[in-house]
Amino acid sequence: MRISKLLPLIFLTVFLAVGGQVFLKYGIQKIGTINIKTAANIIQSYSKILLDPRIIIGLLFYAASALLWLFLISKTELSYVYPFMGIAFILITIASRFVFAESVSFYRWLGSIIIFVGITISAFSSKGS
């Protein structure tokens, strides 16, 4: 299959993975800190987690991303498609800043830019060269 036909699926895979992270973070913020001091605390914490709709949505996004990923790596070289997953680092940094109001340092932004440059170089490489 031509790479150009796979690009929409590659980006969908990345967006599903990022969406999964955002929903998981949103869910765990609502639940609070996971307490693992005793077995009863562990059961209580994980019961809340597994029943939270935001967590469930996040896990479903991850599952969909994983299934698409399996399809993608069956159609093309892993060394070509995997660098696109780096886009997730960039999108997570953006979501962290603008969705969760996290403080993102200059060096994290710089790292995201470097990752973007690497992905761009990789994306324009020829298959097998």
Give per-residue pLDDT as tens, 56-115.
999 999 999 999 999 999 999 888 888 889 899 999 999 999 999 999 999 999 999 999
Has residue 129 been placed in a domain?
A: no
CB of 16 closer than 8 Å to CB of 68 = yes
The total of structural domains in the chain comes to 1
Q: What is the per-residue pLDDT across 57-73, written as a single tens digit (0 to 9) for each?
A: 999 999 999 999 999 99
Q: What is the per-residue pLDDT across 13-67, written as a single tens digit (0 to 9) for each?
A: 999 999 999 999 999 998 888 777 777 777 888 888 889 999 999 999 999 999 9
In 4-121, which ranges are E strands?
Answer: none
The whole domain housing 112 covers 3-123
CB of 80 closer than 8 Å to CB of 122 = yes
| Alpha carbon distance 25, 19 (integer Å) | 10
Has residue 128 been placed in a domain?
A: no
pLDDT higher than 50, residue 129: no
Phi, psi at 117, each rounded to 5°: -60, -45
Has residue 89 been placed in a domain?
A: yes
Has residue 87 been placed in a domain?
A: yes
CB of 65 closer than 8 Å to CB of 16 = yes
pTM of the predicted protein model? 0.84
The amino acid sitting at 52 is: D
